[in-house]
Structure 1
Amino acid sequence: MSSSLTACSKVEEETTYPNKFTNTELEYKSGLSDILSIAKAYFTTERANPTPTFELPVHTITAEQLVTEKEDAIFRLGHSSVAMKLDNQLILTDPVFSDRASPVQWAGPKRFHKTPITLNELPNIDTIVISHDHYDHLDKASVKVLAEKTGLFLTPLKVGQLLIKWGVPQEKVVELDWWQSHTHNGIEYTLTPTQHFSGRGLTDRDATLWGSWVINAQENKVFFSGDSGYFGGFKEIGERYGPFDFTMIETGAYNSLWSDIHMFPEESIQAHIDLKGKVLMPIHNSTFDLSMHDWNEPLQQAMELSQQKNVTMVSPEIGQRMSLSEPLPVNVWWKN
């Protein structure tokens, strides 16, 4: 377990937290030598397609479309940001609407495509789930705008404190430890472990918890991976909460230099199998350049591997509606 806390709670000033959080199977450490190795690899690795050479297909989403949608459906917004309608409620995962996944907007990884809907155009949101505090998953500018129109933010331990500092009302924030659950408007949300790390600066390494989400609605049970290396936790989650009707699993930004905390495509497919998933949508790709592989490699490899493993994979275009009752056939849009 990540801490000794055993019950979920609203964020309160007197809450006691551990100083550092740790993984269940390994202690992930990185130092100056690792940073230098990664920097060298970025400058020396030759890539055919680091960024798209054509305009990516993006389907415009309207507020009316999200409000009037009655089926359980998903709309991929980009990277790990997904909009879902479950039980007629609007749920967002790791909403990042800024142009760059970075502490500043004049430098850092820049998005390949526009967002299918703007922050201001979004209607009221029932629930937002956050997986961890890295910049490509927790976007301060987006949170500040979404604070007024969102009913509840669900976060791992201590991440909620950041949201409150940014202006989210305290009563709208619930923090959970691993394996803890919170029910909101009839949907049960459970924070489950991942193998990753946290930190937004030089001095806050592992000061907040990270995790994945089990979302148990009336008709569908959904899994959202956040970021993770491959580990035995996926099988345990599958045994406790599976089978899942739909999984959204990190498949992108991988490299042998950080293989402990991000999965290669074959590991993402295996994680889906461990979770007893029925339909897989690879996420964490096609929006930001965060590694040394070609931008379209994750989806291509995931498609080929899923076919070999008899896994049902979907690849909706950005903003494209997909009903969970009628998964779309794979569309190789990343090949223009």
Structure 2
Amino acid sequence: MKRIYKVSIWAIALLLLVMGSMVYIMTNQFGKMDALENRHAKFSELTYYSTERNEFISPEKLIFNPEQTTGGDPGFARFFKTSPNAPQFPLPKQMLSKNDFSETPSEYAVYWLGHSTVLLELDGKRILFDPVFENAGPLPIITRRYDVSPLKREDLPEIDLVIITHDHYDHLETATIKFLADREIQFIAPLGVGARLEGWGVPKDHITELGWEQPTTYGSITITALPGIHYSGRSHNDRNQTLWASYAVRGAEKNIFSSGDTGYGRHLKEIGEKYGPFDMAFVEIDGWNKGWPLTHLFPHEAIQLCQDIGTEHMLPTHWGVFDLALHPWDESIQMVASEAAANNIQLVTPIMGEKVIPGVDPTNNWWEIKATTR
């Protein structure tokens, strides 16, 4: 009996230790939030912030129709499993190390690193969008990647700016922010997200928070946060307590649009009229589902976005890495490619890790070719 008692005590202690570790990890992943009184002072006069609900408001109310969800509803447990929609072969990619980057950034070039992680070289500066290099959840086993990133965060070149569109796990990675925190990097993020960055070690004077239609400058580059139809949050009780944004990034000669995550709405036409035309757009193409029709862009809406904002060149993002919407990994890009060809939109589709000059370097429909990692 004594032996059983001791084993039970050790088992309980181990269980408590594991549970405590998980709580610590998840709390760290959630990140810090502004105190309520700070939120009232900072956001109460904004037309897109509700002081009654203490949350930011989408330009159009998000709709959820579970009975219309395509692909079935496997429940939250699916995020712990290997996706049945994943590719059955390694996706082609150009593996990168620090030695693959020039000491001086180009005046204009882009690397797609997978999903929404994009490295833009503009006016001799390097701008990193939504850096995520591992899985996309509060625990390492949640929302697994189809394949490894073409670049480890430890091999990133010198970065000048990090731009965050919102705080969802597939766009904001705790480990990467902590890794970059003590470098001479400026972080640009929507309202409220700065508190999370600061909690992970980014100095306050390295953080610029922007509301919609609010610009900031970095040398010759002007970055303006713009609206989107979406939502935010990293836990069950912080939905919409931070803002989300799309961005216009205007350099000396090039004007770039980054959609972030957004549903389709009239805000896109207004962005085009006020901030366009654009030389290039990074546009999310995956995550759509009839069950949540305004949360992400459907393929035909991604093309319509390009027409609304006045661009002929689109770099598809938000695909090829995670299964977020219950359809095959290449379904969205196949549909977008077909829509683009019918509407004179030029797709810029480098393999992950490949450096291209949009409009100059040709790319192809690599997803149609079974290829091994280079």
Normalised to the residue count of structure 1, the TM-score between the two structures is 0.88
Residues 285/37 of structure 1: CA separation in 2 closer, same or farther (3 Å cut): closer
Indicate which of 99, 104, 119 corresponds to 2:153.
Answer: 119
2:234 aligned counterpart, secondary structure: coil
Q: Which residue number in structure 2 is paired with residue 17 of structure 1?
A: 43
Indicate which of 253, 267, 272 corresponds to 2:287.
Answer: 253
Indicate which of 74, 81, 93 corresponds to 1:42.
Answer: 74
Residues 69/37 of structure 1: CA separation in 2 closer, same or farther (3 Å cut): closer
Encode CA deviations 1:21-46: one digit per residue, 9 max, x unaligned: 0012x22265xx85997895237x9x
Q: Which residue number in structure 1 is paired with residue 125 of structure 2?
A: 89
- Percent identity, aligned pairs only, is 36
Residues 310/150 of structure 1: CA separation in 2 closer, same or farther (3 Å cut): same
1:237 aligned counterpart, secondary structure: helix
Encode CA deviations 1:141-174: one digit per residue, 9 max, x unaligned: 1111111235200000001111001111101000
Indicate which of 301, 304, 307 corresponds to 1:267.
Answer: 301
User: Shift in Å at residue 319 of structure 1?
Assistant: 0.4
Q: How do residues 165-176 of structure 1 correspond to structure 2 at under 5 angstroms?
A: 165-176=199-210
**AA in 1 matched with 2:109:** A
Residues 36/300 of structure 1: CA separation in 2 closer, same or farther (3 Å cut): closer
CA distance in 2, matches of 1:197, 1:183: 26
Q: Unaligned 5+ residue runs, structure 2?
A: 1-33, 45-53
State yes or no: 1:73 paired with 2:109. yes
CA distance in 1, matches of 2:368, 2:228: 28
Encode CA deviations 1:53-104: one digit per residue, 9 max, x unaligned: 1111110223241534434100001100001110010100000012x10011
Q: Which residue number in structure 2 is paired with residue 226 of structure 1?
A: 260
Q: How do residues 158-169 of structure 1 correspond to structure 2 at under 5 angstroms?
A: 158-169=192-203
Residues 38/267 of structure 1: CA separation in 2 closer, same or farther (3 Å cut): closer
State yes or no: 1:288 paired with 2:322. yes
Q: Which residue number in structure 2 is paired with residue 189 of structure 1?
A: 223
Q: Which residue number in structure 1 is paired with residue 166 of structure 2?
A: 132
Greater mean alpha carbon deviation, residues 15-24 or residues 174-183? 15-24
CA distance in 2, matches of 1:132, 1:228: 11
1:70 aligned counterpart, secondary structure: coil
CA distance in 2, matches of 1:34, 1:229: 17
Indicate which of 125, 141, 152 corresponds to 2:186.
Answer: 152
CA distance in 2, matches of 1:186, 1:250: 27
2:42 aligned counterpart, secondary structure: coil
Which one has the bigger helix percentage? 2
Indicate if the aligned counterparts of 2:94 and 2:351 stay in contact, CA closer than 8 A.
yes
Greater mean alpha carbon deviation, residues 57-66 or residues 161-170? 57-66
Greater mean alpha carbon deviation, residues 258-267 or residues 322-331? 322-331
Greater mean alpha carbon deviation, residues 73-82 or residues 148-157? 148-157
Q: What is the aligned-residue RMSD (CA, Å)?
A: 2.4
Normalised to the residue count of structure 2, the TM-score between the two structures is 0.80
User: Shift in Å at residue 293 of structure 1?
Assistant: 1.0
Q: Which residue number in structure 2 is paired with residue 8 of structure 1?
A: none
Residues 170/38 of structure 1: CA separation in 2 closer, same or farther (3 Å cut): farther
2:324 aligned counterpart, secondary structure: coil
Indicate if the aligned counterparts of 1:112 and 1:288 stay in contact, CA closer than 8 A.
yes
Q: Which residue number in structure 1 is paired with residue 360 of structure 2?
A: 326
2:153 aligned counterpart, secondary structure: coil
User: Shift in Å at residue 325 of structure 1?
Assistant: 4.9
CA distance in 1, matches of 2:267, 2:122: 25
Residues 324/67 of structure 1: CA separation in 2 closer, same or farther (3 Å cut): farther
Indicate if the aligned counterparts of 1:156 and 1:177 stay in contact, CA closer than 8 A.
yes
1:161 aligned counterpart, secondary structure: helix
Q: Unaligned 5+ residue runs, structure 1?
A: 1-10
CA distance in 2, matches of 1:36, 1:105: 31
Indicate if the aligned counterparts of 1:49 and 1:295 stay in contact, CA closer than 8 A.
no
CA distance in 2, matches of 1:184, 1:101: 30
Q: Which residue number in structure 2 is paired with residue 54 of structure 1?
A: 89
